[in-house]
Chain A
Amino acid sequence: MQREAYERLRWRCIRRGLLEVDLALTRFLEETFDRLSEAEQQAFAELADYEDLELWHLISGQAECEDARLAPIVAMLRKS
């Protein structure tokens, strides 16, 4: 990912409305993001655009991800 795109994504991960989402996305960015393929990184960026509550429900397993492209990233977020 290009520097600018990455920095924009980083900001959208480290400054959320919910602390739970801040923590989960920041950790993912630091520990997992670099190991992803370009397509997976793009999928993560799409997830980061979700609303906070929606995203937290996915990460905490209170909701299931119905988008087949994004589901594997959600699974990783749950574990990471």
Chain B
Amino acid sequence: MNIPVLKFDAVIVGAGGAGLRSAIQLSEAGLKTAVLSKVFPTRSHTVAAQGGVAASLGNSEEDHWRWHMYDTVKGSDWLGDQDAIEFMCKKAVEVVVELEHYGMPFDRTDNGKIYQRPFGGHMSNFGEKPVRRSCAAADRTGHAMLHAMYQRNVKANTQFFVEWMALDLIRDSEGHVVGVTAMEMETGQVVIFHTRATIFATGGAGRIYASSTNAFINTGDGLGMAARAGIPLEDMEFWQFHPTGVAGAGVLITEGVRGEGGILRNASKERFMERYAPNAKDLASRDVVARAMATEIKEGRGCGPNKDYVLLDITHLDPATIMKRLPGIREISIQFAGVDPIKEPIPVVPTCHYQMGGIPTNYSGRVVVPKDGDYNTVVPGFYAAGECACASVHGANRLGTNSLLDLLVFGKSAGDSAVEDLKSGKAHRDLPKDAADFSLARIDAINKRKGGASVHEARLAIQRTMQDHAGVFRFADMLKKGVTQILEVEKMVENLEIKDKSLVWNTARVEALETENLIEVAKATMISAEARKESRGAHVRDDAPDTPEFPNGRNDKEWLKHTLWHREGNKIEYKPVNLTPLTVETVELKTRSY
């Protein structure tokens, strides 16, 4: 079949924060750069980020990148690579100032500097007391960031391919990445992007869970493509959860609701937090509350016909207080839970929020894989940044406001690395003869199949399995069953059928292709989680409790290592954590407590 080939120096898949930041580096260096996106760039999920971006500018009080580094290592529960963490925290000031120069309307202090606010986990003087480190643009930081960087790209002549979906990575016989296949949704045409550099910035895959704060677009396309091309996925057992998402919808109910006196109740209306945290009760830390909720549900005390949620009760509060202090909460509850919280409690569940793992990279944004005993062999021509990548700076848990920082720093460094690698001026490597065959065969199978599973059913099966078996609190028996079950669900995904066979604007086909990416992330998560027999950061197992020998259930002797999941044979291997920063001394292992 004759497939059109578009030649670019670089293609970037994804036009959220990381993709746009990479593209600036490439286009401003004069390289011919294409950015592919399923949606218009300013509609990427980065728009949902409100908290701000962390940088030790020290505008509001004394601060230092080494303090930020310490907080990030501690937040990661020591699973983060300390070279990458040093790199990120050091670079933070530079990337924030650059963003300001791009026109980002940061909030300001009276004397015109960027205003900084405190954020959970960010401390001064190596964990001593909270520090103001987050730079924000009101409650629309992500939105403003996307706009500023999109405009900068337009000026730099970045070529955008909007409403295009990347399908598969193209690697030649020596393993070099030489481009991607992609489909234009409007025409259904499959095209080869033949490149010298390919950068993945496709965001997270939070839609593998039934309850997720992620927008529908977060289907892990980059992770699926990487896995199918033989690239392992790193630390996929680590997902950050928020305790209170609206059941069945995922929309976040802010922690402020409990701060104002909201009470969590089970099916018999019991205030169950009194049993788990007799002092702090409903105001206990995020992970304690989320685990208590998961335990109530697992032990059959959940609410509703399926006993799969608990209730957040604010009916005892004065309606005037709710309206004044918790704006938007009543609307969210009415819109997405169908209840007016002034009269009835809100159904809530622990909800997936952020993916710490991803495509393994080094701090320069180059994708690395194990080869001949070297865990960090660069895959030539391939780069990744942002939530789809694992540098690894977030390790086992991410600090708030470090996600926007991650996408700026590593978006930029991936772009810089590609510019450096392309400097030699080497020509495009040849495309394999069968470059598009794999993608075409996948599409053809979906088009022709009759009597297969519906995309909707398969997606629900993935989400239900992940939520029930690899949620915020994990149980050995559930994980074991989860592995069997997700491999069953995989068979459904291998057998997807769509009713609409049209070529042009076939959204059902795009959703089927997305589901083929979701399943790769789901398998990686379940299998990696089952295998890691300790608790660390966001991965908390019932059978790895807090003991004097293993505080918080963390077992550094056996488990201070990164997981690598390989799609082929669902093989797991491990690689060491880098505890050696670039220039400073290591942040010594310690129990993580706040």
B98: interface (CB < 8 Å) = no
**Which residues on B sit within 8 Å (CB–CB) of A11?**
163, 185, 505, 507, 510
Interface SS of A by simple majority: helix
Interface SS of B by simple majority: loop
Pick the residue among A8, A17, A19, A53 that contacts B251 (CB under 8 A). A19
Pick the residue among B213, B216, B250 that contacts A15 (CB under 8 A). B216
Pick the residue among A14, A51, A78 that contacts B216 (CB under 8 A). A14
A37: interface (CB < 8 Å) = no
**Which residues on B sit within 8 Å (CB–CB) of A59?**
335
A46: interface (CB < 8 Å) = no
A75: interface (CB < 8 Å) = no
**Which residues on A sit within 8 Å (CB–CB) of B332?**
20, 60
How many Å lie between the Cα of A14 and that of B38 in the bound state? 11
* Distance of B164 from chain A, by nearest CB (Å): 12
Question: Which residues of B (500-525) have their CB < 8 Å from a CB of A?
Answer: 502, 504-507, 510
A76: interface (CB < 8 Å) = no
How many Å lie between the Cα of A11 and that of B508 in the bound state? 10
Contact with A along B310-350 (1 / 0, CB 8 A): 00000000000000000110011001100000000000000
Please tell me which stretch of B6-14, B44-52, B62-70, B541-549 contacts chain A, meaning at least 4 of its Cβ atoms lie within 8 angstroms of it.
B44-52
* Distance of B278 from chain A, by nearest CB (Å): 35
**Which residues on A sit within 8 Å (CB–CB) of B502?**
3
B215, A18: Cβ atoms under 8 Å? yes
Contact with B along A16-56 (1 / 0, CB 8 A): 11111111101000000000000000000000000111000
**Which residues on A sit within 8 Å (CB–CB) of B331?**
60-62
B216, A17: Cβ atoms under 8 Å? no
Q: Given A19-B214, A24-B335, A61-B331: A51 and B143 within 8 A (CB)?
A: yes
B336, A17: Cβ atoms under 8 Å? no
A53, B186: Cβ atoms under 8 Å? no
* Distance of A19 from chain B, by nearest CB (Å): 5
How many Å lie between the Cα of A3 and that of B503 in the bound state? 12
B38, A23: Cβ atoms under 8 Å? no
B217: interface (CB < 8 Å) = yes
Question: Which residues of B (136-150) have their CB < 8 Å from a CB of A?
Answer: 140, 143
B39: interface (CB < 8 Å) = yes
A18, B47: Cβ atoms under 8 Å? yes
* Distance of B259 from chain A, by nearest CB (Å): 21
A7: interface (CB < 8 Å) = yes
B592: interface (CB < 8 Å) = no
**Which residues on B sit within 8 Å (CB–CB) of A15?**
38-39, 43, 215-217
- Other than the given A15-B38, A61-B331, 6 more pairs (CB < 8 A) read A17-B44, A23-B251, A51-B43, A52-B143, A53-B143, A59-B335
18 A-B pairs, CB-CB below 8 angstroms?
A: A7-B507, A8-B505, A11-B510, A14-B216, A16-B43, A17-B39, A17-B45, A18-B48, A19-B212, A19-B215, A23-B249, A51-B42, A51-B43, A52-B43, A53-B47, A53-B140, A60-B331, A60-B332
